A and B are shown apart, each in its own frame.
Chain A
Amino acid sequence: MIRILTGLLIAAALFPASLMAQDGPLRIEITEGVIEPLPFAVPGFVPDTPEAADTARQLTQVIAADLTGTGLFREIPSSAYISQITDFAAPVQYADWKAVNAQALITGAVGVSGGKLTVRFRVYDVFSGAELGNGLQFAGGIDGWRRMAHKVADAVYSRITGEGGYFDSRVVFVSESGPKNDRRKRLAIMDYDGANVQYLTDSSSIVLAPRFSPTGDRVLYTSYESGFPRIYVLDVGNVKRRVLQQTDGTMSFAPRFAPDGRTVLFSLEQGGNTDLYALEIASGRQTRLTNAPSIETAPSFSPDGKRIVFESDRSGSPQLYVMRASGGEANRISFGQGRYGTPVWSPRGDLIAFTKQNKGRFHIGVMRVDGSEERLLTASFLDEGPTWAPNGRVIMFTRETQGEGGRASLYSVDITGRNLKPVRTPDGSSDPSWSPLQN
């Protein structure tokens, strides 16, 4: 049976992870760290009409790239196939796919009519000889074909891993050009895989560290537009921006939304001292959360909004602390060697990602929220500023190379430390912030 969905936006809810988890042996446990990627075949989706052929081909490629890009899956090349899929409705010849060792088989069909695109697909567990979940259809504008491919890949990923997907998501970041001593920065937004880059500001003033709202509709960032660093909020839809916080003689930076999207945490510097504040966007009411002569910055909420993790040098060097959302006493959670910064609470609530600097090297790492089980995922001359994929299984961050030609670019790595790879962007890039899954 194929369920017909009219919108792009409903699919994920139809496949609760708990149901997927019972679907037989075809299953990847992400947390265990996958050493041998699961082989899959995704024969070109069948075009309903000749005019759908190009889209069908491109869509299939994006689905394959999404899955292989996780490091959890390996694509069987079509040159190895011993049978083709020419009719989406015809029964699958499991033996032919078993013979080429495809454990998962994804088939699909693509229709294009009057600027509208429909995509139908099915996922098969080849070695069990059964379909994994039900067939599904997405429909939408032809312009959204990449998103539809990501939706399909998210559904496949979800069914096989039992985890939420992350392909239908975006990243806001700082696009960089020019030499190190004359760096130009502007805000940009793109799909998670680096496609569809759009610029949100020009490079006439420094812009730093954009942060998505919990629904992905707004972006907080710091800009030197006024000559002094101040926090702005930008509407992603119409690219309009407004200053959110300004007090003469102060600097405001390091903003981050609360999970409800109504409050913003940030650092406010007055007289050389930096503390944490919360700002209610609607009323403009500002609450001071820390009051210490030390530097308090880089705050991040727990997903339930009850706690805040932040960076402070109150002990003499930058370390990570957790306190209640209302402020008050804070508990230090980082105790390893070196300096810790930019903590970010995982959307699942289980881990905190951070930047660590030790013996002249930088690392991206994760620890449990009580500071235990610290695990360093990367090492380089300069890695910093982690951001979580919507499913809390992958981290994107900035890596900057050493020396005169030093250049910043984006990388991603999974939480086991595997699958470290660059994210392709047109220019240099830094300060990524990963959106939630799109609706």
Chain B
Amino acid sequence: MKLVNKLLMAGAVLALAACNDPSGLGGSDGASAGAGVIGTGLPSDPTSVAYFQQAVGDRVLFAVDQSTISTQNQTVLDGQAQWLKANSDFNAVIEGHADEQGTREYNLALGARRANAVREYLISRGVAADRLKTVSYGKERPIEICSEEACYERNRRAVTVLSSGLTG
């Protein structure tokens, strides 16, 4: 029953979510990877995608060339794991990204390392492995576009993008 309600709601906001995302937080940063992309719902609903993105936090950042999960990242990922365990009708694709310093190929591999580090951590916190996929966008999908560390540090990220578990 709960799932049905949520999917109906998701359907209702889908059209909005697709074009109305000024925060830069919503949805997938790249092409839709994996199962169906879904609406974000209301941030006040703790079972909504919006809540996951904003209250739990859908992304962690990395140091230059690194894929280590920092203590700060662990807190965010602990929250993600808890949420995913409580909302088992969602799966996730973890998108790894790099900043623009570095070659295209190396950054693809580096983004994969980051995405996988997050996936491993979530699994270690009890999320079922078959609910978590990874993809790397390397330096192809920056969210910040200046060529300074202030932007780079926000681009070196792994984003946990929720997808409906029904088709995943």
Binding site for B on A (CB under 8 A): 179-181, 183, 205-206, 208-209, 224, 227-229, 249, 251, 253-254, 267, 269, 271-274, 295, 297-298, 311, 313, 317-318, 339, 341-342, 355, 357, 360, 381-382, 384-385, 400, 402-404, 406, 431
Contacts and interface: CB of A to CB of B under 8 A. Distances in A.
Given A229-B135, A272-B67, A297-B109, A406 B147 contact: yes
Interface string B135-166: 11100111111110000000000000000000
A357 B133 contact: no
Contacts of B110: 295
Given A272-B116, A272-B119, 12 more contacts: A206-B137, A224-B30, A227-B31, A227-B34, A228-B135, A249-B134, A251-B108, A254-B108, A274-B112, A295-B113, A341-B103, A403-B146
5 contacts: A269-B109, A272-B120, A297-B105, A318-B102, A342-B104
A205 B33 CA distance: 11
Interface string B86-108: 00000001000000111111101
A269 B136 contact: yes
A357 B108 contact: no
B117 interface: yes
Nearest to B135: A228
B124 interface: no
Contacts of B106: 295, 297-298, 311, 313, 318, 341
Interface of B: 30-34, 65, 67, 93, 100-106, 108-110, 112-113, 115-117, 119-120, 133-137, 140-147
Contacts of A318: 102-103, 106
Contacts of A384: 103-104
B142 A180 contact: yes
Contacts of A313: 106
B140 A208 contact: yes
A342 B106 CA distance: 9
Contacts of B116: 271-273
B138 to A, nearest CB: 8
Nearest to A340: B103
Contacts of B65: 317
A143 to B, nearest CB: 35
Given A224-B30, A298-B106, A403-B146, A251 B136 contact: yes
Contact of A179 (B93, B102, B145): B145
Given A298-B106, A382-B100, A272 B112 contact: yes
Given A269-B112, A382-B100, A406-B145, A254 B34 contact: no
Contacts, number: 114
A406 B99 CA distance: 14
Contact of B105 (A183, A342, A381): A342
B145 A274 contact: no
A253 B146 CA distance: 27
A272 B133 CA distance: 11
Nearest to B110: A295
B135 A254 contact: no
A180 B100 CA distance: 11
Contacts of A342: 103-105
A106 B145 CA distance: 50
Nearest to A298: B105
Nearest to A318: B106
Q: Which 6 A-B pairs have the closest CB atoms?
A: A272-B116, A227-B33, A341-B103, A274-B109, A180-B145, A295-B109
A228 B100 contact: no
Contacts of A273: 113, 116
Nearest to B133: A249
A385 B109 CA distance: 16
Contacts of A403: 145-147
Contacts of A269: 108-109, 112, 136
B145 A311 contact: no
Contacts of B146: 403-404
Contacts of B101: 357, 360
A341 B109 CA distance: 12
Contacts of A381: 147
Contact of B136 (A181, A229, A339, A382): A229
Given A229-B136, A295-B109, A297-B106, A272 B117 contact: yes
Contacts of A208: 104, 108, 140
B29 to A, nearest CB: 9
Contacts of A180: 142, 145
B143 to A, nearest CB: 6
Contacts of A298: 103, 105-106
